[in-house]
Amino acid sequence: MQKLFDLTGKTAFITGGAGLLGKQHAEAIISAGGHAVIADCDIGAALEVSKELGPHATAVYVDVNNKKNVQEAVEQFPRIDILINNAAKDPKVKKAGVLSSDTKFETMTEEYWLEGVATILNGTFFCSQVIANKMLQTGGGVILNIASDLGVIAPDQRIYNENAPKPITYSAAKWGVIGMTKYLATYFADHNIRVNALSPAGVFAGQPAAFVEKLTNLIPMGRMAHVDEYQGAVIFLCSDASSYMTGANLIVDGGRTIW
């Protein structure tokens, strides 16, 4: 059974790899025997993460919005067996449910919309296109797109400040990621490239108590996720344990979307 989850000899390219969940994805890959490429636009942070994770991690600069830059980053590796599209622009709650007034639909600027959607959708498209071409040359692989529970349900704006709601950019882009997952799964079905999505829920990272209480009241399990609770799902979706699974969206959300 352990062989099903074994990633020995596999190289995983993880965008946004220096972020909160990106680092966790890398740890999961390494724990299963693989090598994690920490691909991030913050090369300093990527280097710190790779140093912390040890010899089975490599840091590389990548701007997922720049296809040429993605190609240059990918060319450094003879093969990539796993792509985890994790990079995203997601405004964080800083105090009492407040994000930023830039997030209001009525007054959102064109620049905010384009930037918010681009990092997630363009990044997923460019990285999938470049790395899928490499996978086609090396016999196949796995693409794992990190979506969100907010790619399945709408954000409950009652838990945020009414003057600073969760932005439409994040929801629209994550719904798009799930759509791309289904498209690519059928497109590459005959080429040994499996494509699935993982939709996590909110991770507790020191958010204000009032916000946490409001959010956890929406979750049957009564709490936010621990930062490492998606590692098992990542290993499952990236390994042969999910060998007959493609085009799926695995929701790991404490039950929130069933209500």
Give the pLDDT of residue 92: 66
Give the pLDDT of residue 89: 83
Closest CA to 157 of 214, 118, 238: 214
Q: Which of 112, 160, 170, 230 is catalytic?
A: 170
Give the pLDDT of residue 73: 98
Provide CATH code, domain 2-258: 3.40.50.720
Contacts of 170 (CB under 8 A, 6+ apart): 88, 89, 90, 91, 116, 120, 148, 150, 155
63-83, pLDDT tens digit by residue? 999 999 999 999 999 999 999
By 3-state DSSP, what share of the chain in percent is helix, strand and coil, each rounded to 5? 45, 15, 35
Residues of the chain with pLDDT under 50: 95-98
Give the pLDDT of residue 223: 98
Q: What is the DSSP string of 24-59?
A: HHHHHHHHTT-EEEEEES-HHHHHHHHHHH-TTEEE
Can you give the residue ranges of every domain in the chain? 2-258
Give the pLDDT of residue 164: 83
Give the pLDDT of residue 101: 58
Catalytic status, residue 170? yes
